[in-house]
Structure 1
Amino acid sequence: MPDRKLLDELYRMRDLDGNDDDLERFNDILNELSHRASADIIPDLCRMLEDDVIEPSAAGDLLETIFYISDRCGIEESMRYLALGVPCLFPRAEGWAVRLHRMLLHADRPGAPYIEAYSAALCGIPARALRRVVNMLLDIKHKQPELYADKVNRFLMALMRGEESEGGCEPVRN
């Protein structure tokens, strides 16, 4: 089944109404996408997130799928697609946006430079969305400095390097 059909089915199922069979099917689709979909579906996965609609365990699995795809398809390319999807999270999925960014900060490690790749990719999103991301990350840092201060500071430094680089930020494109 083509990825588009799977994504359409996921979108229709996202509220799940407490049906375990639907949750199992939802997870089966995410599993299939995590193993074979390309990074260009990441904005579509972001569009499925809504604070008041999607079942919490399903949303957590959906977020994890983004990182499975990123690890498989390449972090730089995947973070460009994530940057395209992030603006649609505001304001309807801000809770999930916070969780996504916490996961991103945790995923960053040697050999998996999520912070550097994501900060570079964010240069191409609208300024208002970029401000929301920065403010959200600062709020995460403020609430849990022992866990996030260093990583948020590295993100901000990488973002400033991208903005100050010769020619400025490059726009994110499909």
Structure 2
Amino acid sequence: MPDRKLLEELYRMRDLNGSDDDLERFSDILNELCENASADVITDLCRMLEDDVIEPSAAGDLLETIFYIADRCGIEESMRYLALGVPGLFPHAEGWAVRLHRMLLHADRPGAPYIAAYSRALHAIPARAVRRVVNTLLDIKRTQPELYTVKVDRFMLALMRGEESGDGLAFARN
């Protein structure tokens, strides 16, 4: 089944009204996407997140799927698609945006430069959306400084370096 059909089915199922069969099918679709989907589905997966609609365990699995796809398809390309999907999280999925960004900060490690790739990718989205991401990351840092200060600071530095080098004009655009 092509990715589009799977994504459409996943979107229809995202509220999971309590049926174990639905949850199993939802997981099966996510597993298939993990194994076979291209990075461009990341934008579509972001669209499925809504604070009041999606079942929390299903949303957690969906977020993990994004990172499996990124590891398989390449972090640089995947973070470009994530940056395109993130503006759609605000304001109806802010809770999931926070969780997504925490996961991104945790996923960054030697050999998996999520922070650097994501900061570069953000230069392709409108400045207002970049500011929302920055504010989300600063809030994460403020609420749990012992866990996130170093990584958020590294992200901010990478974002500013991109601005200084002219790689993007995210803060200059509107």
Question: d(CA) in 1 for partners of 2:64 and 2:164?
Answer: 32
Cα shift readout 1:1-38 (whole Å, capped 9, x = no counterpart):
00000000000000001111100000000000000000
C-alpha contact (below 8 Å) 2:23/2:58 kept by paired residues: yes
* RMSD value, Cα: 1.0
Which residue of structure 2 aligns with residue 169 of structure 1?
A: 168
Alignment coverage as a number of residue pairs: 170
User: How far is 1:168 from its partner?
Assistant: 3.6
Normalising by structure 1, report the TM-score. 0.96
Counterpart AA for 2:168: C
Q: CA deviation at 1:123?
A: 0.8
| Matches for 1:22-61 after TM superposition, within 5 Å | 22-61=22-61
In 2, distance between residues paired with 1:80 and 1:123?
A: 9
What does residue range 1-174 of structure 1 map to in structure 2 within 5 Å?
1-165=1-165, 167-169=166-168
SS class of match (1:38): coil
Q: Which runs of 5+ in 1 are unaligned?
A: none
If the length of structure 2 is used for normalisation, what is the TM-score? 0.96
Could you give the per-residue CA deviations for residues 75-134 of structure 1, whole angstroms, max 9, x where no partner exists?
000000000000000000000000000000000000000000000000111111100100
**Identical amino acids, percent of aligned pairs:** 83
Which ranges in structure 2 are unaligned for 5 or more consecutive residues? none
Partners in 2 of 1:99 and 1:164 — Cα distance? 29
Q: After the TM superposition, list the runs of 4 or more consecutive aligned residues in structure 1 that deviate by more than 2 angstroms.
A: none
Q: Is the 8 A contact 2:42 2:81 kept in 1?
A: yes
Q: What is the distance in 2 between the residues matched to 1:29 and 1:168?
A: 37
